[in-house]
Amino acid sequence: MPRTKQFNEKEVLNKAMELFWEKGFHATSMQDLVSHLGINRASLYDTFGGKEALFDSAFAHYRTTSGEKIQEIFHTSATVKEGFQRLFEMAIEEAANDPGRKGCFVVNTTTEMIPGNEKIHQTLIANKENAEKLFAGYVQKGVNNGELSPSINPEEIGLMLFALYNGIRVVAKVDSDAEKLRKVVNSGLSVLD
């Protein structure tokens, strides 16, 4: 008779995500995972595969939840500019309340694993393209509803705002001064005026 799992897979995945996010893939050992997750090595392998498979699952979980958060902000904002303002403000607040300065898991993974890991590289390319499409589509919505000038190029503005969003996440790891970050954001968002 198969043994029942004595742990919640989603909770364990969340814990693994936090650990990989904080330490990175290479600095996280199997023993770190066993200790942090509170499950034995055999259960970890049986449920998630090895360290790389667990990382892949944790990284996918992060990208999914982050994407859902961004879509929720865009969907619940009265205007496109307000949606972008709320998104950037969330990034600034997260940085201000992150004493460990762990930043963005996607940015961290990019700087740790590229070049050198083709599988992760392809995942990051797909993630970037999806995010750029989301940003550009949101700008297009503003053009379509008359909020933004029809003379702007939604694709170019979406690319720029996505690059700015990631730049804020990187800069905030070094200097999380909210006022400085807001000045950068306000300058960037002026393209929507």
Range of the domain at 11: 7-58
Identify whether 1 is part of a domain: no
Q: Are residues 187 and 104 in the same domain?
A: yes
131: domain CATH number is: 1.10.357.10
pLDDT-derived band at 1, boundaries 50, 70, 90: very low
Q: Are residues 121 and 84 in the same domain?
A: yes
pLDDT for residue 186 is more than 50: yes
46: domain CATH number is: 1.10.10.60
pLDDT-derived band at 99, boundaries 50, 70, 90: confident
Q: Are residues 87 and 44 in the same domain?
A: no
> Mean pLDDT throughout 151-170?
96
Maximum C-alpha span of the chain = 67
Identify whether 69 is part of a domain: no
Q: Are residues 85 and 34 in the same domain?
A: no
Q: Are residues 52 and 87 in the same domain?
A: no
Q: Which helix (H) or strand (E) holds 112?
A: helix 105-113
Give the Cα separation of 174 and 150 in Å (integer): 37
Q: Are residues 91 and 136 in the same domain?
A: yes
pLDDT for residue 8 is more than 90: no
CB 104 within 8 A of CB 131: no
Q: Are residues 50 and 81 in the same domain?
A: no
Identify whether 66 is part of a domain: no
pLDDT-derived band at 4, boundaries 50, 70, 90: low
Write down the mean pLDDT value for the chain: 93
> Mean pLDDT throughout 145-170?
96
Q: Are residues 97 and 162 in the same domain?
A: yes
% pLDDT > 90, the chain? 84
- C-alpha distance across the termini of the chain, in Å: 65
3-class DSSP state for residue 59?
helix
List the structure tokens of 175: 């200097």
Write out pLDDT tens, residues 170-181: 999 999 899 999
pLDDT for residue 3 is more than 80: no
Identify whether 160 is part of a domain: yes
Identify whether 2 is part of a domain: no
pLDDT-derived band at 7, boundaries 50, 70, 90: confident
Give the Cα separation of 26 and 48 in Å (integer): 18
pLDDT for residue 36 is more than 80: yes
Identify whether 182 is part of a domain: yes
